[in-house]
Structure 1
Amino acid sequence: MSDVKVAVTSRSFSKNAILRTELLRNYPNAKFNDQGLSLKGDSLVQFLDGVERAIVALEPVDDALLSKLPDLKVISKYGVGVNNIDFKAIQKYDIKFSWTGGTNKVAVAELALGAILGLHRNLFAHNIEMKEKSVWKTRAGSNLEGKTVGIIGLGNIGTVLAQFLKVMNVNVLAYDIENKYDECQKLGISCVELNDLLTEADVITLHVPLDETSRYMISANQLSLMKKNAFLVNTSRGGVVREKDLYEFLLSNEEARAFFDVFEDEPAEGNVLLSLPNFFGSPHIGGSTDEAILAMGRAAIAGLDS
């Protein structure tokens, strides 16, 4: 395979010495995104020009891109989200696509759990006050134990999170677009309808892919069903929540809180949500652990041979 031209668009893959070594072992001519560029449009076309196989992450792969890359034959996905992939275009240009689900499930579930705990104990607000305002002010938080957490999306990540929460004596509700009754039974949790979950949960955490069934699935109507002091955590995809509606909800309900790792437009610099004292975020780090990066990278390398 020494003559096969391969390119890696992902910045975290490109920075990982182990993944670079393992890829170069089979593809010594592979090139990496060493400049840490956010590739899209013409810059992505230029980077992939002449490449036969590519490992992509969050970059948009659509008809406009593929029409300019006649040499590209295989695309392997680094990471689990595929909302950036136009599958009709993939089929149109007869490109083989490889994707492996669940490679970052523990990493994302741990982040969601950390966010839930942090919101309960006011960790994020206290940290901001101490570092930016030099304020030593304590306020009581609340225990997670005994609370009701609603998981929307009982796939790989949602299932791991449910397992974590059950150990902590949390009442877990789950909603999924598919029938997950058997899975709920095995986990010892309750499968409910979406509106019931929104009404009953103290914490709502999102773990769904972004597609036509989930875009803006949490908007003004759904937010109005939530408790006025509910916590909302999103580590799935930004477009699942209508951000302007969430802004109004948080503005009107000071005891409610939200933590997002994902945003509709990334980077989220200047996002109005970040101006709210009861909103907290991280820069899409859900899958960014050493272990998850290796698992995602190795799956992507294997996918090049599909």
Structure 2
Amino acid sequence: MTVRKVCIVSKTARYPDILERFAARGWQAEFRTLSARPSEDEVLAALQGVHGVIAGPEPYSRRVLESLPDLRAIARTGVGYDEIDVAAATERGVAVCTTLGTNDRAVADLTVGLMIALARGIVPAHADIADRGLFQRPNAIDFSGKTVGLVGTGAIGRHVARRVRAFDCAVLLYDVTQDPAFAREVDGSYVDFERLLRKSDFISLHLPLSPRTRNIINTDALMRMKRSAFLVNTARGGVVDEHALWRALSDGVIAGAALDVFEKEPLVAESPLRSLPNVILTPHMGGITAEAMRRAALLAAEHVHHLLEGSRPSSCINAEVLDHPQPIPANQS
């Protein structure tokens, strides 16, 4: 009998009871720690002989996948899969799952929190008191009643729309696929990208990273925004041209920005964004709450269980693999 081997490398999925659940099935499961920015070689060394992995943001390139012949299942504790070569995984019969729906409310909460922090100048006010000993009130505006433009109306964008409506904000929506029923629900309007840029007081990004969306916020887009507008990105770093944003923030083209994601993570020390007073920077923490991490870890473990037992998980990025499952390789003595 082949014993399933599972490795948990995601730093947000280290719950002992998950190991216990795998052990109760007679599987071998263990935590393995990778560095903050693991190389392909580090991933290869950690995952030799593993059939299923509960993954973080480490790279699963074609080279990595071709060098892990036993691997059959990758379950990401998150919704993004930028670091996974899905085409190569599909060719090799490796199923790829994410934990969609486990952290969308958490990301939406942070998004609205960042909007309010920008509007009220909360971060510079704190720095004035804590770092400089000053007690002065920042320039601030109401968040209530402003126009919020949402670029992307998937699960997170929808939760943001519902939250900002509680502040009596007008909602503009942009997406390649429109949902009139949702627009009616939030009393919002689908508009073209140009109109959203020109009319919004706050623009919030909720897009996957793809060739179409890369640098969707560039110099041209920033120039079309109001000078009083704020940009919030809790989606993927690559959808914003960071150099163009730095220039726009430095030159007063827009009023400010809040970024939870960056093109390279962690944000490089030499990034000029670090020195700007009108930007809030957070460490890709949108989906990182105790509750969301727990939900994601449990769902990822459930995905791995289904995939290695030959049943279908609740969702799969490359579902065609499930129609022609590859056998689990026999354990080597």
* TM-score bucket (shorter structure): over 0.9
- Give the letter for the 1:157 counterpart: I
SS at match of 1:146: coil
Residue in 2 that maps onto 1:269:
268
**Structure 1 residues 154, 255: CA separation in 2 closer, same or farther (over 3 Å shift)?**
closer
CA shift at 1:98, angstroms?
2.1
Higher mean Cα deviation, 39-48 or 104-113?
39-48
CA shift at 1:72, angstroms?
0.6
CA shift at 1:179, angstroms?
2.2
CA distance in 2, matches of 1:133, 1:20: 48
State how 1:36-51 maps to structure 2 within 5 Å: 37-51=36-50
Higher mean Cα deviation, 178-187 or 99-108?
178-187
CA shift at 1:143, angstroms?
1.3
CA shift at 1:105, angstroms?
0.6
State how 1:45-60 maps to structure 2 within 5 Å: 45-60=44-59
Q: 1:81·1:209 contact (CA, 8 Å) conserved in 2?
A: yes
Q: 2:75·2:99 contact (CA, 8 Å) conserved in 1?
A: no
CA shift at 1:3, angstroms?
2.3
1:153 to 2:152 alignment: yes
CA shift at 1:22, angstroms?
4.3
State how 1:2-81 maps to structure 2 within 5 Å: 3-14=3-14, 16-26=15-25, 29-34=28-33, 37-81=36-80
SS at match of 1:30: strand
Q: 1:201·1:230 contact (CA, 8 Å) conserved in 2?
A: yes
CA distance in 2, matches of 1:246, 1:90: 35
Higher mean Cα deviation, 74-83 or 102-111?
74-83
State how 1:118-133 maps to structure 2 within 5 Å: 118-133=117-132
Residue in 2 that maps onto 1:199:
198
SS at match of 2:277: coil
CA shift at 1:28, angstroms?
5.1
Q: 1:13·1:20 contact (CA, 8 Å) conserved in 2?
A: no
Deviations 1:127-169 (A, max 9, x none): 1222222221112411111100101110000001101111111
- TM-score, normalization: structure 2? 0.87
Residue in 1 that maps onto 2:169:
170
CA distance in 2, matches of 1:10, 1:25: 21
CA distance in 1, matches of 2:256, 2:168: 22
Residue in 1 that maps onto 2:330:
none
SS at match of 1:11: coil
**Structure 1 residues 302, 222: CA separation in 2 closer, same or farther (over 3 Å shift)?**
same
- Give the letter for the 1:301 counterpart: A
Q: 1:2·1:28 contact (CA, 8 Å) conserved in 2?
A: no
Residue in 2 that maps onto 1:95:
94
- Structure 1 gap segments, 5+ residues each: none
Bigger CA radius of gyration: 2
CA distance in 1, matches of 2:22, 2:120: 43
SS at match of 1:127: helix
CA distance in 1, matches of 2:18, 2:268: 30
Deviations 1:72-107 (A, max 9, x none): 111112111122221111111111222342211100
Q: 2:202·2:229 contact (CA, 8 Å) conserved in 1?
A: yes
Q: 2:99·2:299 contact (CA, 8 Å) conserved in 1?
A: yes
Residue in 2 that maps onto 1:220:
219
SS at match of 1:112: helix
Q: 1:129·1:136 contact (CA, 8 Å) conserved in 2?
A: yes
Higher RCO (Cα < 8 Å, 6 or more apart): 2
- Give the letter for the 1:237 counterpart: R
SS at match of 2:261: coil
CA shift at 1:37, angstroms?
4.8
CA shift at 1:188, angstroms?
1.7
1:114 to 2:139 alignment: no
CA distance in 1, matches of 2:290, 2:2: 28
Residue in 1 that maps onto 2:313:
none
Residue in 2 that maps onto 1:293:
293
User: RMSD across aligned C-alpha pairs, in angstroms?
Assistant: 1.8
- Give the letter for the 1:159 counterpart: R
Residue in 2 that maps onto 1:231:
230
**Structure 1 residues 143, 20: CA separation in 2 closer, same or farther (over 3 Å shift)?**
farther
Q: 1:150·1:172 contact (CA, 8 Å) conserved in 2?
A: yes
- Structure 2 gap segments, 5+ residues each: 308-333
CA distance in 1, matches of 2:78, 2:139: 38
Q: 2:22·2:28 contact (CA, 8 Å) conserved in 1?
A: no
CA shift at 1:17, angstroms?
4.4
Residue in 2 that maps onto 1:210:
209
SS at match of 2:53: strand
